[in-house]
Structures are given as C-alpha cells and as structure tokens.
Structure 1
C-alpha cells in the first residue's frame, strides 16, 4: 500500500508546538491533583478526541468553527462532557475555548500522550499486522519487547492486509520487520490459519538476533 508523504507546513508545526505547550500545562495541573489523576486525564482526553470527535463531524465542526460563540462552546462542553470528564480536564477545555484554541485539541491530545509516556518511562512501539492482534498475542509481544528494551511497552496498533503472515514493529528509528511481502500469493490462503502462533515465531526470531 502506497502512502503519500506529508511534509510539515507552518500550520502543522505551529499546531504541534501549541499542542505541546497546552499539554504540558494540562499534565502539570493534573500532577498537582494527586497520584493517578494525570493518567485519568490523558485517557479521558484521548476519549474526547478518538471517540466523540472522531464519531461526530458536527461536534468537531462546532469545536473548530469561529462562527460558534465561546459561550455556546462552553455550553456544549457542559452538556456533552459535564458528567464524563474529570473537573480539571473540563476546566482546561473551557480555558482553550476562552483562548480560541479548542480547534487544536487533537494536537494537545497527541502531545499529552507523548509527554505522559516519557514521564512514565514508557517505550512506544508501533505495530502493523495483517489482522488485529488477539489479547494473548498482544500480551506476548509486550512482554518480549519489554524484555528486549528493558522498559514498559505501549503498543500503537494498525492493520495492513498486505502484511499477510507477518508484522512490522517500529520503535523510534529501529524497525523489526517479519513481513513476507514477496510471498503474498502463497500465504494468502493460510493468512488466518494459525496466524498468532506463526507471527510470534517470527517475532521471536528477529527479537533474539
């Protein structure tokens, strides 16, 4: 599968920097609330972006539109999230509204994830597989990578049918590739049969090198 390369623009870079600034402020405020609050808030922010905004173009448009007043955006936040979110996160989103920055909440969500992972000493591994991982396979991959990297592992998973019979794991600049692109036609029929065990066999081979 060919993907186009997206080059950074001034807007992209500005959004990223703004996201980092707001994310640091959010996590700093959460840490002051006590143990476990930062984890809760980062997860809830991900829920707002990945569940609510991803599933509701109307809500996403309302967050981004300069035509919607700040007062109305705050009413929307209270109506939709008032009983769902930690008070610190809800207050933070209202501050973003007051500064006309609510449209950048996606950038804040991404930055908050990265900052919190660094704070917790987590190593993020991006994993592409032919079919979704089951819980047992996911757990074994996390355990094996944790042993190899001597760190807590967080998986970012994606599915790519072209990787039938294999997977690709990226950790920073390091890539573990057990895909079998040159044997797609031969493996297509067997793609789902014994997928997890075969995947883990290959995984064991390249992580032990």
Structure 2
C-alpha cells in the first residue's frame, strides 16, 4: 500500500468514526457504491484522477450518489473521493473497507460480526471444495454470491451476509481466507477505535476518569470507553490514544521536548 493510499484511508476512517446508530442504513448503502464503482471503470477513474480538483470530484459524487446514499454516507464518500489514491482499485477497496467499518460502527455489533465472520472462515477452511469454489478465478462472482447465500443465508445475520457478498463480488485478487480475515480485522479495529487508551503513572480516581470520559466523548462527538494503563515511566500527566488521535501530556513527553529544544 502506497503512502498516498495510507493517508487517504486514514482520512476516511476518521470520517467513519463520526457515524452514529442513526446512520446505519446510510452506511450499508456504501456497499452499493462499491458495486457501482467496480462495475464502471470510467466512473472509478474519474474519482481517482489525481489531476481533478477535490471540489469537482465531490460534486460528481453528490450528483451520482447523493439521492441514494443519504447525508452520512455522502460525507464518507465525499471524504474518500477528495483524497489522493494510488490507483482506482485502491479507491474501491478503500470504500469497501469504509462500508465494513460503517456497518460495525453504526450497528454496534462488532462482537457478533466478528463471531459470524470467524464461523464462516472456519467452515471454509475445513471444506476444501467450498474454498476452491469461492476462490476460483474461473467462476463468476455472482454465482459465488449465490453459493454463499444458499449455504449461509439462514445461519448468519443480514449485515454479515452483506459484508460477505461484497467480499466475494469484489475480491481484488485476494483469496477467500485472506479476504475474510481482512474483514474480520477491520471489524476488530473499528471496535478498538471507540476505546481511548489512557496511560498514566498512577491510577486515576474514579471521578477524574468520569470527567475525562465525558470530555473525550464531547470532543469526539460519540461515546468513548476508557482503557487505563498504569506505566510509572511516564512520570506524571497522561497520554490519550484514540483511533488516529494522540494527546501526550505526560511529564516524560515534556522532558523529551525540552531536551530537543536545548539540543
């Protein structure tokens, strides 16, 4: 993955982080955008074109998808098309990741999604014929989707099936096990992005933790859980890691900055 795509993905993930439970349907519709971009090389190229302006690409996205996506989905798509991607394939895969993250974020069913993806992965891994049928590059992807729905439609939830359909239709050259493991990792990572890791030299009192949690929730616009880690080496103060955000107000960090200024 090139540096441009990494930067683009980081921006998209931050936008997905702002979605709430009220945006679930809009997040699900991002899978439809993935379908349309995968089917239209011309449209995908227009969004991935480095020479095109960000405003023009956002306007095109609004014109093509605005009516079907809804406000929340358009924010994610708009952020995606404004970025610079290494290839149009990276854009499509990035939006597929955004859709998976969006469903996990808005439904709050990270654990269930993870369990069901694990169950699917276990079944495929233990059935060589099924793995071959799903992973063969000779078979039509729509037929593979039908196979997944026939075998797992009554066993898995609607959102898990929605994720699997997208993976099977748009594998981007990846084998089934790798695809599903990738999606499983995304779901787990999105769950972790709702947990702020707070590192302190000594345990914080409950009242201070509550104030910190309320402050972080207000800052990031959504509920934030805290995972407190005690590390005497930070000396004092605290460090907060939340998704891609880092707030380091430890005494150790201040000492390091002072040394750099004096060097």
Q: Above 0.5 in TM-score?
A: no
Structure with more of its chain in helix, by fraction: 2
Give the TM-score normalised by structure 1: 0.42
TM-score of the two chains, using structure 2 as the length reference: 0.35
